[in-house]
Chains A and B, each alone.
Chain A
Amino acid sequence: MTSTTVAPTRRPAGTSLLARPLVRHTAAMLGIFALGVVAYLLLTNLQGQQGQACLLVVLWTVSVTGLNIVQGLGGYPSLAQASFYGGGAYISTIALNKGMPMVLAAVVAVAAVTAAGLVVGLVFARTRGQYFAIGTLFFGAVITLVLNNAIDLTGGPNGRPVDLGFAPSTTLRLLAASMSIGFVLFYVISRMRLGARLLSIREDEDLAEHLGVPTARTKLLALTLSATFGAWAGVLLAQYNGVIAPSQFTFGQSFLMFVAIGLGGYGRLLAPLVGSFIVIGLPQLINVGPGTSQIAVGIIFIVVTLLLPGGIIGGLSLVFERFRPSRPQPPGASGSPDQAHRPVVIS
């Protein structure tokens, strides 16, 4: 984290209303609320293929927002997110089936998956960089094994039906609300001390440790939070879909969630929405067969990683900065690629 980007830059009075924190936060909240309303309108009005695409994008956005905490802010590639998502779906379904009321089943599922995230974190939060990726990936593979083999509970590879807990209209309302609330939580977390600590880990973990950032504990907390988000998205998925199967939660899906963050832009507020739209929404809308769309996603992802390290949102904001007339900028914080590849400012 370079000091130039962190230090508040003194702006001449009256350059921009958005420079004032209170105004900016309010604007962000209003924007998030508006997004939720748009999502609700789309969810209730779109039919068929488009409705399905919209639903999946909203669900994935909730789950990937959790991933955006550990992977986006902290720079730690967690490849277990689809397992948390699946955990929420399966545990809530099983609890509902055992006769629990829906609200209790949802609470139980989210709590259990959060606890699982805590355990995974206790083991792997100490590991560095790519070992963390390998460890979480392996955890995801084991969960897939369990979902396929514990047939009494999960119904095996063919999956199992889900009892109706929430009325369909309630589920849709919850979906739109969850997306907005998820964004608000991420917005708050990224501005709290936890967010600052995660950013410092992303920039230079050794340096962060030397400066007294409790790196292992911070990563642990971030991973646990990501599990909570994933579990809640899973609860909603099960309720909407009516049937769940292990193939929805394989580590291939975890890869795609990882890809969604990279495409949107690490740590960007709206990265989950943009990324989920490309990764899961577009293949639903443009019907070219499963293989082809995934190849396209792979190519787009590599090109974005190579050319736009700030993701699509990062790239757009660079373009936007370019066309903005003479805004006072601290030296070095302009659009040079060196600075751009790890944006400290979260939009």
Chain B
Amino acid sequence: MGQVIVNGIFLGSLFAVVAVGLTLIYGVMEVPNFAHSGIIALSAYVTFSAGQHGAPFVLAAAAGIVTGGVLSVLTELLAYRWVRDNPAAAPAIALGLLLILQNTALRIYGGEGKALDVPYSQAILRVGGVTLSGVKVALIVLAAVALIFLSLLLSRTALGRAVRAVAQDREAAAMMGIPMQRQFTLAFLIAGLLGGVAAVAYAPTFQVSPYMADEILLSAFVVVILGGLGSVLGAVAGGLLLGLVESLGSAYISASYQSAFGFVALVIILVLRPAGLLSSAGRRVA
């Protein structure tokens, strides 16, 4: 049981890091960023090939994370920016970008999965009866650090206040003289960097492939709905909850259907609480 819960926390941290990026972007721009999973895959590939070329792991990881940020900002500059006033076109743009990013990865690196080795691959942490691989510990730690840093940024700095203001009410924020363009770019930068963190931390437990992040992205979207939009705390709470649900489901019911339990959770939430679990007022889900 303890093992299952720890696994749930591992999954939950992963979902939370991805979901916070999605919720930020959705918050400021109302874009369901399906392209995020393409960005995660490309970040992982950059880390992988930097490692292949002999770069030390820290450098390779940093390169992957920066790649995430740069790519994410590029998607905003080249595509999303131009549909800002027409949110109905956003899913279409997101899917087009996903096609481009994933197939770029497919084109450069081929379809078969690659293993990303990290210095802490062999490490194993034992506490009581619970064992946890070093990779999973690293992911939980990285996720916690990134999210604490982000919440400090959002709550304590002028930059963060501006992002939150835009997420709450775009028109009002613009009237208060907040430079909108910068907030959009900033949201995409943060989301991309978090995506890079997720990629580097998660790839060693799985494999590097163009479609490595698809299922995580789906779960992260459920987290976004669970936690209410635009709320970092909601995304973290929702992420941990969903991580536990999927971990319990795969341990006690069937491991092959792990992400299906997320779907069941989504259906139950939409039937019982159509506005999400922690949603503050504002946007309508249903």
Contacts and interface: CB of A to CB of B under 8 A. Distances in A.
Interface of A: 75, 77, 123-124, 126-131, 133-135, 137-139, 141-142, 145-146, 148-149, 251, 255, 258-259, 262, 289-292, 294-295, 297-299, 301-302, 305-306, 309, 341
A128 B284 contact: yes
Contacts of A258: 91-92, 95
5 nearest CB pairs, A to B: A298-B99, A291-B107, A298-B100, A302-B96, A294-B103
Given A126-B270, A305-B92, A145 B100 contact: no
B99 A130 contact: no
B99 A294 contact: yes
A127 B79 CA distance: 26
A258 B34 CA distance: 13
Contact of A306 (B26, B83, B99): B83
A290 B26 CA distance: 31
Interface in B148-194: none
Nearest to B79: A302
Contact of A131 (B98, B257, B262, B285): B285
The majority secondary structure among interface residues of chain B is helix
A77 to B, nearest CB: 5
Contacts of B90: 130
Contacts of B83: 305-306
Contacts of B222: 134, 138
B91 A133 contact: yes
Given A130-B30, A141-B263, A142-B263, A299 B96 contact: yes
B237 interface: no
Given A128-B285, A139-B263, A295-B107, 15 more contacts: A127-B270, A131-B286, A141-B214, A141-B259, A145-B260, A146-B260, A259-B95, A259-B96, A292-B107, A294-B106, A302-B79, A302-B92, A302-B97, A306-B79, A306-B93
A131 B104 contact: no
Contacts of B284: 128
B45 interface: no
B86 interface: yes
B257 A145 contact: yes
B32 A290 contact: no
Contacts of B89: 305-306, 309
Contacts of A131: 225, 270, 285-286
A263 to B, nearest CB: 10
B122 interface: no
Contact of B267 (A123, A128, A146, A292): A123
B18 to A, nearest CB: 14
A291 B100 CA distance: 9
Nearest to B102: A294
Contacts of B214: 141, 251
B274 A127 contact: yes
A255 B98 contact: yes
Contacts of A289: 107
Contacts of B103: 290-292, 294-295, 298
Interface string B76-93: 000100110011111111
Interface in B91-143: 91-93, 95-100, 102-104, 106-107
A129 B31 CA distance: 11
B15 to A, nearest CB: 14
Contacts of B215: 141
26 contacts: A77-B91, A77-B92, A127-B285, A128-B284, A129-B87, A130-B91, A131-B270, A133-B91, A138-B262, A139-B263, A141-B214, A142-B263, A145-B256, A146-B260, A149-B257, A259-B99, A291-B104, A291-B106, A294-B99, A294-B100, A294-B102, A298-B97, A301-B92, A302-B79, A306-B79, A306-B89
B218 interface: yes
A272 to B, nearest CB: 16
B239 to A, nearest CB: 16
A131 B260 CA distance: 17
B53 to A, nearest CB: 22
